[in-house]
Each structure stands twice: as structure tokens, then as C-alpha cells.
Amino acid sequence: MIKQDRKTPLVEDGIVVGTGSNKYEIRNPVGRFLLHQFDQSIAELISTVRPSTILEVGCGEGHVTNILLSNTNAFIYCTDISEKILDIAKNAILCPHRVSFEKRSIYDLRSDKDRAELVVCCEVLEHLNDPYRGLDKLASVASPYCILSVPREPMFRTLNFLRGAYSAQFGNSPGHIQHWSTKGFVRLVQTKFEIIEVRSLLPWTVVLARTR
């Protein structure tokens, strides 16, 4: 079993993969509270959709996957660009008979084979050189719903900096090359989707949307 170091980001083929600093394994009480709010928001948004099929794009180590498992009866098809991260996710999943995994990029999604009632893409778009193309791919497979989340900036970087993380990068997490405020991210999502609900959390933006 591969274990990811808490402080050193995992790099594969020159790309930072997974959650880097294991942000889903926060130990301090404030961090745990903020993460609980994030988890609860994802669970609540899922409950409004009640999908029978879910495509999770960029599943990482499986944190959100287990939220999907706990709050739906859906079959979940997970993708990630990293084989190493997928190995971690497979060991973290509590109900493997309802989940499948495949190494794939968001750019490789195909509307003729990857469509799902709900597409989930959490903490991925900020890593993309071309987030508009990535969003277009998500819209092509969402039938019709999509849940997306990104770090809420500049709050995300500020909190990192205040806790002494990535100080040399002024709090910017490894691999984050796009940065959106809640309003900025909503404007991006609206180019391809109709917004149903926006959760402006600390320090994330979570959006439930549907294809037009």
C-alpha cells in the first residue's frame, strides 16, 4: 500500500497529484470543523440529486468517493491521472463492489461512453492549464448534474500562509495554477452550466449545476 507523506507533495510524470499535503486528513480542531462543513455540503447537494450513476473525475485518495458511497446507492466510476493515487484510493474505499477505477485525464472524457447522472469534480480545475476545456469535457458527460469545488481564493492561500504552509509560495498549494473567488468561479461554471446552488464555504467554493 502506498502512503502519501503529509508534507511532501506526490509528483508523477512531473505533475503534482493527489491532495499534496493530505488536506483531507487535517488534525487540528478548526481544520477538522472546516472539513466537516465541506463534507456536509457535498452530502447535502448529492441528496438533492439522488443519482443512480456517478462519475467522479479526479477522485484523488478517495475522500469524496466515500462521501458519495455513504449518501447514495449509486454505482461510482472514478478516474484520476495518477496510478499511484488510484492505488491509495482503492485501499481507502469502504465498498469496492460499487466503485470502479480507471487512470484517465479529464481531457479524455467522452460523451459517448462516460455519461452519468451526476458528475463530481472536486479540487481538480485549479490544477489545469486549460480549465475551460476541462469544464467543457465535464459538461459533455454530465447527464444532467455536476458538483464542482475549488479552493476559495484568496482565502485558501491566506489560511495556508497563516498556518505556515507553503510560505515561500505565499500559501499557494503545490500544483495550483488557477485561482478563483466564489464569484469568479461561478462565472466560469456559467459558461457551460446552469447554476442550481452555490455554497461559499471557508475555504472552498462548492457548486451544484446542470447542463443547459
Per the structure block, which three cell numbers stand in for 209? 449545476
More confident residue, 24 or 149: 149
pLDDT tens digit string along 17-59?
776 545 556 667 888 899 999 999 999 999 999 999 999 999 9
Mean pLDDT of 63-68: 96
Cα 100 to Cα 156: distance, rounded to the nearest angstrom = 31
pLDDT score recorded for residue 6: 46
pTM of the model: 0.89
What value does the mean pLDDT take over residues 194-204? 96
Cell of 131: 480549465
Distances (CA, A) of 55 to 34, 37, 76, 113, 164: 25, 23, 6, 11, 35
The residue ranking higher by pLDDT, 146 or 23, is 146
3-class DSSP assignment, residue 99: strand
Tell me the domains of the chain and their CATH numbers.
Answer: 35-51+104-211 (3.40.50.150)
Which of the two residues, 67 and 22, has the higher pLDDT score? 67
> Within 13 A of 50's CA, how many CA atoms are on the CB side?
1
Name the one residue in this structure whose C-alpha cell is 458527460: 141
Compute how many other C-beta atoms are within 10 angstroms of the C-beta atom of residue 81.
Answer: 21
Amino acid type, 195? I
Q: How far apart are CA 160 and CA 106, in angstroms?
A: 27
Compute the distance between CA of residue 33 and CA of residue 35 in angstroms, rounded to an integer.
5
pLDDT for the residue 31: 81
Q: Is the pLDDT of residue 146 over 70?
A: yes
* Nearest Cα residue to 167 out of 25, 21, 36, 11: 21
Over residues 86-106, the pLDDT tens digits come to 999 999 997 889 999 999 999
Q: Cell 481531457, residue?
A: 107
Q: What is the mean pLDDT of the chain?
A: 90
Structure confidence at residue 147 as a pLDDT band (50, 70, 90): very high
